[in-house]
């Protein structure tokens, strides 16, 4: 053990009733602290006085060294062993790693942390600091700080953006990639009834990944919602809905959801063509064909008019949405679907709208087409006999099925 002390202070002692180190008594003199007077060495260590502070442990160690030097029985035999035992206890405390506060208290206030706390408060009230080495308050010298060199880094400062620049000091436009869900599938084109799909002109049912640069401090989803709500104000004015069959899609009880979905699709396609909205004099599409969820056959087509100069106003991005829902137009869609081997998804029809193939055929009568039990669309022959056979085909016990 190192057992080094910065103090040489020790207590005056005298022999006790027995010739043992434990019975040696600290005398009742002014030079000894009141807390240790008339106490034996055994009592002091028994009451853990050596653990109060390093200062106390050092005072006891110095006292033991003086006893070993001046009292004969402390130099040999049991006395020497007792001296070593007590000294080892004191040294163990002296060699402990202590906190800076405790060290300061040991150096200046004989280990009294409360006294140190009071002195520090006194210095703080004077707007000064306390020095452990001098035990006094002092005013630190202030050195003027140089202004750090400012390095300007331009970039998006939002860590959630795809173009985030770490360490940027000057904000620029942030770009986000988000998923926006749709109920239906939408194919944009420049002629009514278009069916040709590609990643550029198609929005799918479910989540669509969109890159967007919102303005005005809006979040990406808030930006989309504000545009969608304004487009909805245009779309919702049309009382004749898209699908000319009562009970499905835009003619169903959920027609308001479908109109909101169409408005959301128009919003996404506008943003898809320009990440940050500006004037839309070059929006590339005039029509949109709507596929109802998993139906496989279009609900209908809408013509679009995009405002040529809308500035930074979210209103009237789409100024007109004309729905084609007359039977003649729906017949055209059925013809296009039939020619392209598109089938009605009868399972989707059943699960979503609780309708079957019989209901479907009853509602498209007059369009010249018939839907089979597989969902295939067939041209209905005008000859009465063949027409009856084909019409029977849709029934579970129809003639064609019986013949099969």
How does pLDDT run along the chain (404 residues), one tens digit per residue? 678 888 889 999 999 989 999 999 999 888 888 888 999 999 999 998 888 888 888 999 999 999 999 999 999 999 999 999 999 998 988 887 767 777 787 777 777 778 888 888 888 898 888 888 777 888 888 777 777 777 889 999 999 999 999 989 898 889 999 999 998 888 888 876 667 788 889 998 889 998 888 877 888 888 888 888 888 887 777 554 444 455 555 555 566 777 888 889 988 888 887 755 554 556 678 888 887 655 566 766 777 776 665 544 445 556 566 555 445 556 666 777 777 777 777 887 788 778 888 887 887 777 777 888 888 888 775 434 444 444 444 444 443 443 33
Confidence (pLDDT) at 289: 82
391 three-state secondary structure:
helix
Identify the CA nearest to 111 among candidates 68, 159, 163, 53.
Answer: 53
Torsion of CA 90, 93, 96, 100, to 10 degrees: -120
Whether 137 and 128 have beta carbons less than 8 Å apart is answered as: yes
Assign 18 to helix, strand or coil.
coil
Q: Closest Cα partner for 115 from 68, 70, 53, 163?
A: 53
How many Cβ atoms are within 10 Å of 111's Cβ, its own excluded? 21
pLDDT at residue 385 in the model: 45
- Give dist(CA 3, CA 95) in Å, integer: 6
Cα–Cα distance measured from residue 157 to residue 219, given in angstroms and rounded to the nearest whole number: 14
For residue 354, give both structure tokens.
Answer: 């609780």
In the chain, where the domains are located = 13-96, 106-137, 179-324, 340-404
* pTM, rounded to two decimals: 0.50
Dist CA 164 CA 176 (whole Å): 9
pLDDT of residue 308: 60
């Amino acid at each position: 053990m190192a057992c080094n002390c910065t103090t040489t202070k020790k207590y005056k002692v005298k022999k006790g009733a027995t010739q043992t180190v434990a019975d040696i008594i600290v005398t009742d003199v002014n030079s000894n602290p009141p807390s240790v007077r008339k106490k034996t060495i055994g009592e002091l260590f028994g009451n853990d006085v050596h653990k109060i502070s390093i200062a106390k442990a050092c005072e006891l160690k110095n006292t033991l060294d003086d006893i070993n030097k001046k009292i004969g029985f402390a130099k040999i035999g049991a006395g020497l062993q007792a001296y070593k035992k007590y000294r080892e206890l004191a040294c163990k405390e002296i060699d402990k790693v202590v906190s800076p506060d405790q060290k300061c208290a040991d150096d200046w206030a004989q280990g009294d942390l409360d006294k140190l706390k009071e002195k520090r408060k006194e210095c703080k009230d004077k707007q000064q600091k306390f020095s452990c080495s001098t035990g006094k308050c002092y005013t630190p010298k202030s050195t003027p700080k140089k202004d750090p060199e400012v390095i300007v880094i331009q970039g998006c400062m939002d860590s959630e953006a795809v173009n985030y620049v770490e360490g940027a000091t000057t904000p620029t436009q942030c770009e986000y990639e988000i998923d926006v869900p749709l109920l239906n599938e939408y194919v944009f084109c420049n002629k009514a009834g278009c069916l040709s799909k590609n990643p550029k002109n198609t929005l799918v049912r479910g989540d669509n990944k969109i890159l967007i640069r919102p303005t005005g401090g809006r979040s990406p989803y808030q930006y989309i919602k504000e545009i969608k709500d304004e487009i909805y104000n245009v779309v919702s004015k049309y009382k004749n809905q898209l699908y000319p069959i009562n009970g499905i899609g835009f003619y169903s009880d959920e027609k308001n959801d479908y109109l909101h979905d169409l408005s959301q699709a128009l919003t996404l396609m506008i943003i898809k063509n320009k990440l940050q909205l500006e004037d839309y004099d070059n929006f590339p599409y005039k029509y949109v064909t709507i596929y109802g969820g998993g139906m496989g056959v279009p609900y209908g087509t809408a013509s679009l008019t995009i405002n040529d100069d809308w500035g930074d106003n979210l209103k009237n991005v789409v100024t007109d949405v004309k729905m084609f829902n007359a039977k003649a137009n729906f017949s055209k869609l059925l013809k296009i679907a039939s020619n392209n081997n598109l089938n009605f998804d009868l399972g989707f029809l059943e699960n979503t709208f609780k309708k079957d193939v019989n209901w479907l055929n009853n509602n498209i009568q007059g369009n010249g087409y018939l839907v089979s039990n597989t969902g295939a669309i067939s041209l209905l022959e005008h000859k009465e006999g063949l027409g009856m056979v084909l019409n029977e085909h849709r029934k579970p016990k129809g003639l064609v099925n019986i013949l099969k």
